[in-house]
Every structure is written in structure tokens, then in C-alpha cells.
Amino acid sequence: MDIGIVGAGIIGLAVARELALTRGARVTVLDKEDRVGAHQTGHNSGVVHAGIYYRPGSLKAKLCRDGVALLREYCAEHAIPYDEVGKLVIASTPAERSGLRAIADRARENGVPGLAELDALALREVEPYAVGVAALHSPHTAIVDFPAVARRLARDVEEAGGSVRLSHPVRALRETPTGVEVLAGGPDGPRRLRFDGLVVCAGLGTDAVARMAGVSGDVRIIPFRGEYYALAGDARDLVRGLIYPVPDPRYPFLGVHLTRRIDGEVLVGPNAVMALAMEGYSWRDIDLTDLRRVAAWEGTRRLAARHWRTGVREVFGSLAKRAFLSAARRYVPALTGADLVRTTGGVRAQAVARDGSMVDDFVIDTHGRIALIRNAPSPAATSSMAIARHVVGITSLLDS
């Protein structure tokens, strides 16, 4: 059984590894970049989410909890640093207490271990420089180097007899009566590859590959850029672990937060602004073709009509450092403008439905011999190994 995987991010590599090890498949991973984990895998904050926020019974809730256990075990096996620094979700005003209680109830229903509800004094025992009226403490929320995990997964694939072909953009594909043909370009030009089935884990490129396959579907990827600042010098000592706000339940974004990384850096962010290209990592990255396709999607127009005020606030936050500082100082008031230094951000591939709603769960479709992961934003990296097991378990193309 020969299976192709489009996308050498953490999910594509986890799927390839799972197929090779549990199904004995001969796997070939194709990616247009010259390294694994070049986009969402390599541009996230490194948080291993415990499963606090997600709707009980959803794929996110189940696969996040399963994924944490699998990832922790995998990191221990391969000596990849994994640190349970803990997370505080802080209510900064009395009005946010009800939202905090709702999160605590949801987290317990999801089976998140070790939770504690803290008052204003107790939260400072966890984070001495943080303030708020109450907090939820998740002591087992962790941090990890996801690019390092992706590199190890790629080694596993190759050691199992598979192939990871970088600088191999997919240029065309078609389903045939006996499999899937893919035209993928390498340094010497495109080659025709034949597979019994194909799994698309293309993140920001999902829509482009879906169009090639003729399965556009009822959701589209909208790119949202998340921008970050890093704390400079001694300001890093103001944050021990992870400090999060009570999120707005209308959006799948968690708001500006403070995140200690596995390398000791502390990030402030991200915001969420609609990018001007699928890979729009800055305001200078503009792709008119991408913009036309995003604007033509009826879901984009409905999303903009419904949430334009929030969009304006996010753009202001992108352009004004003081907006980031103000958001961070709600929780760590000792911070100053000099403590924040602009650093690398990322672009989130967020699926939006026709009605303008942001899809708030993982979405996996199968079309004959092609499986597409349509929506896999956070906590996808945390859940990657569980997502891989799920995909391998539900895709009929593997039984053909």
C-alpha cells in the first residue's frame, strides 16, 4: 500500500509515521518548503495545551487530551525537552468570574487533571508578579519545541522506509479508478507519482490542494496573522509559566497572553489580524490572487460584516505597540514599553463556513481515495499524534 501525504508539518509527519508503523504503508511525504515544519508548526508558541477550553465531546477535546499523553511519552522516549510549567487563566475583573467558572466546568468535564481555582492571593503564589481577582490553575499544561518533534517524526518516517521529499510542491493531482496520481515538482522538474491513497495535511495550502482534487467543500481557509513581542532581559523573570486571559467565547482565539518558551524566551501575544496572503507573515506580504479568493468566499464577507469592529481593534493592536503593552499589563502590571521587543509571528489557517462562522473544531473529510484535514488550528500541534491515529482509523482509502 503506497500512501502520499501532502504537507511536512507536524500533523502530516505524524500521519505518515502512524501509517508506516501501524499499517505497514509505504509513505511519501511531499512539501514545497526546504525544511519540515516551515509554517504553523515552526511559528507557534510551543504550548502543549491540557484541554481546558474545548467543547466537551468535540474532536478538539478528545484528541487534545489523547494527544497530550502521546506527545509526553514520545518526548520522553526521544529526549525532547518537555516542561510542565503550568498555566493560569486569570479573571482580571469581577465581570470575568462567570466566564472563568464556565472554563473551569468545561475543563473538568474534559478530564483535565490537577485543576485548582485560586483567589487573588493564591494566584500570586503561582505567578508572583501577576494580578487578577481569580484564576484557574492548570499545573500540567506544558511547553515543548514542536519543530524538534517534527524533525524527529521525519526521522521516524525515513527509518520506517518512508520518504520525506522537501522542495516538492504539488502542482496537480487526480483520482483514478485505482488510486491517485500526483504531479509534484522537485529540483529537476515535476514528476508523476502514483499512490493508492492521499492524505492532505497542507495547512495554509489546504484550499489550493482541494481545488486540484475538485473537492472545494463548504469551508475555506482564511489566514489570520498572529504577531508577538518578546520580553527583553530581566523582564523575562516576571513570568514563570503561562498567563492567559479569559477568552471571548465568540472567537476561537485565546487573546493576548504571556508564554514562557522551552528556550527561556517569554512571548507576549498573539493578536489576530486577517493576513493579506496565505503566507502573509507581515503587512508587506501581499498576494493579490490569495486576496481575491479570500474576498470571493461568501463566508469571508459575512464574517467581516459580523465582526468588523473586532477586526478594526486587532489592526490597531497590530500597528500600536501600546495596545500589546496595555493587554499584557492587565495581568503583569510591572511591564514597561522597553520590556517588549518585536519578534517572529505566525499565520493561522482558520476555516470559515459559508455563514461566516469560524469553524471551532477539527474537520476531516474523505473523498474517495483522498482524505483532507480541512481545519486543524490550535491545539493541533498538541493533538498531532492523536489526530494521526484518528485519521488512520477513519479513512476508508486505507482499506481499499
* Per-residue pLDDT at 399 exceeds 70: no
b/e burial code for range 20-41 (CB count within 10 A of at least 16 → b): bbeeebbbbbbbbbeebbbbbb
- The CA R_g of the chain, rounded to the nearest whole Å, is 21
Angle at 129 between CA 125 and CA 135, to 5 degrees: 55
The mean predicted confidence, pLDDT, of the chain is 93
Q: How confident is the model at residue 200 (pLDDT cuts 50, 70, 90)?
A: very high
Query: Which part of the chain is CATH 3.30.9?
Result: 219-353
Q: What whole-number distance in Å separates Cα of residue 356 and Cα of residue 354?
A: 5
Backbone angles phi, psi at 48, to 5 degrees: -95, 100
CATH of 1-82+142-218+361-400 among 3.50.50.60, 3.40.190.10, 3.40.50.970, 1.20.58.100: 3.50.50.60
pLDDT, position 22: 93
Angle at 342 between CA 336 and CA 347, to 5 degrees: 130
**Residue (of 81, 101, 83) closest to 91 by Cα position:** 101
* Per-residue pLDDT at 308 exceeds 80: no
Average pLDDT, stretch 185-205?
91
Q: Which residue has the higher pLDDT, 235 or 255?
A: 235
Q: Which three cell numbers stand for residue 281?
A: 507573515
C-alpha dist (Å) from residue 18 to 12, 171, 197: 10, 26, 15
pLDDT, position 255: 76
Average pLDDT, stretch 13-20?
97
* Per-residue pLDDT at 7 exceeds 60: yes
Widest Cα–Cα separation across the chain: 66
**Residue (of 383, 338, 382, 20) closest to 199 by Cα position:** 20
Q: Which residue has the higher pLDDT, 368 or 140?
A: 140
Let me know: does 3 contact 196? Beta carbons within 8 Å.
yes
pLDDT, position 315: 75
Percentage of the chain exceeding pLDDT 90: 82
Q: Given the C-alpha cell 492567559, which residue does it identify?
A: 244
CATH number of 219-353: 3.30.9
**Residue (of 364, 371, 387, 376) closest to 4 by Cα position:** 371
Q: Which three cell numbers stand for residue 41?
A: 508548526
Percentage of the chain exceeding pLDDT 70: 96
pLDDT, position 396: 54
**Residue (of 38, 6, 9, 14) closest to 173 by Cα position:** 6
Laid out side by side, the sheet with 47-48 consists of: 47-48, 142-144, 82-83
* Per-residue pLDDT at 400 exceeds 80: no
Average pLDDT, stretch 55-81?
97
Q: Given the C-alpha cell 517572529, which residue does it identify?
A: 344
* Per-residue pLDDT at 398 exceeds 60: no
Q: What whole-number distance in Å separates Cα of residue 107 and Cα of residue 247?
A: 14
Secondary structure of residue 273 in the 3-state scheme: strand
pLDDT, position 207: 94
* Run of H or E including 391: helix 380-394
* Run of H or E including 169: none
Query: Which part of the chain is CATH 3.50.50.60?
Result: 1-82+142-218+361-400
